[in-house]
Copies of this chain bind each other. A is one copy, B any other.
């Protein structure tokens, strides 16, 4: 297994390079009879698309998806769904200066050491562009989960660099380029980003994702717990350095009498567990957080080495996201959807 497939029963195999002919995914194991159109998938891709505000990369990619298989007369047939996205705006010349050097904090270095070969154009395989097929596949999972269980999966940004973003309301999220659940704070975020771009630097972010309306009982102990698989998927996203569930790292200083969610006939009285106990869903909302590091492609000069091991100064031009967290909300939603759908099918297999 070379790591490019996610899931056991609902399986997504991702392919492509940032500046190659195309990127895409093959989605295997989808139940038959689900209505799926290119428009359904395009809707989610458009949420992740570059070039939609001045705060993200200015690469112009329509990210137009084509369904090559697995859907007949608008419904899934149970066979693999191949999704194709052609790359169109690939200006590889912008990256010629990095072919021989390693950006500090970038996968350039490790791909080179692992494979001895790499496609350096636009970051090649390690580009965040490869999250588009994940989002496309996630659109199918989201739709199936919603139709089957009423499950709704939504994310938002809770912190941009030093700026905490208090949650106000879900309907704010779609109305600003940051996926911030708080309209009032948007001007501050914009000002911060404008200054950051002037500085030629980048910044981290923290995102939250919440899945509501999932039944109790999903998850496979011991190792493939629902939260373990969520952590696997989310930590597998470019630039993520931390994943937590429910109370997350705050649980370290909590006492059991505080952390353990009491239950009454009316239901759970809190959700420190984040919707998972013993690796199995409780029926409460599943809540997770991710920490996203600042992107490594910045204009500020930094020390590095080239392939010969000689010292160089590296400055990355080209079109990069100064905060990859800004476009990551649809991606973490998609990843959670993929994990939940896989576990829904596994649960149905074993427990009927």
Contacts and interface: CB of A to CB of B under 8 A. Distances in A.
A349 B251 contact: no
Contacts of A224: 1-4, 236
A31 interface: yes
A117 B345 contact: no
B110 A277 contact: yes
A81 B4 CA distance: 11
Contacts of A349: 9, 29, 345-346, 348-349
Interface string A217-228: 111111111011
A227 to B, nearest CB: 5
Contacts of A162: 253
Interface in A323-352: 345-352
A80 interface: yes
Interface residues of A, number: 154
Contact of A2 (B23, B24, B292, B350): B350
Contact of A202 (B21, B229, B256, B300): B256
Most chain-B Cβ atoms within 10 A of its Cβ — which of A104, A272, A273, A350? A350
- How many chain copies does the complex carry? 4
Given A204-B251, A291-B251, A16 B277 contact: no
A259 to B, nearest CB: 5
Interface string A253-265: 1111111111111
Nearest to A229: B232
Contacts of A68: 15-16, 20-22, 24, 84
Interface in A203-248: 203-206, 216-225, 227-236, 238, 241-248
Contacts of A98: none
B1 A32 contact: no
A244 B246 contact: no
Contacts of A204: 251-254, 259
A220 B3 contact: yes
A265 B309 contact: yes
